[in-house]
Amino acid sequence: MENQEEILKRLDGRTEFEKTVLMAVLKIPKGKVSTYKRIAEIIGKPRAFRAVGNALHKNPLASIIPCHRVVRSDGRIVGETIGEIEVRRRMLLEEGIPIEGYRVRLSKEILY
């Protein structure tokens, strides 16, 4: 895995906000999830949860930065297409995340 400095270099051309969001999401460990709102709070912009979603939508390093680990506050897994949602759902299941339908069963144990 690349170090944070190398990842930041690969994010050149992104806004500072996007970089901050992506680097915060990079820290979510396997087997944990966060919400768009929690990421906004972590980066000190508690009302920017929609902007967090937009930044993740533009994630150029999806194979490195685990945006599939970020869900809505109600636990719903989201994406642009049904196929994208299915891929995220499968990845979360493989990481041991409890899911019912297309919602993560959020709990203190799995929230980052």
Please state the pTM of the whole predicted model: 0.92
Burial class of 28 by CB neighbour count within 10 A (0 to 12, 13 to 18, 19+): buried
Taking only the tens place, the pLDDT of each residue in 58-99 is 999 999 999 999 999 999 999 989 999 999 999 999 999 999
What pLDDT was estimated at residue 2?
Answer: 75
- What residues act catalytically? 67
Inform me whether the pLDDT recorded for 1 exceeds 90. no
| CATH fold of the domain at 4-104 | Arc Repressor Mutant, subunit A (1.10.10)
Contact present, 58 and 52 (Cβ < 8 Å): no
**Domain map of the chain by residue range?**
4-104
CA distance to 4, 5, 6, 9, 37, per residue, from 34 (Å): 20, 23, 24, 25, 8
Taking only the tens place, the pLDDT of each residue in 4-15 is 889 999 999 999
Give the type of residue at 106: L
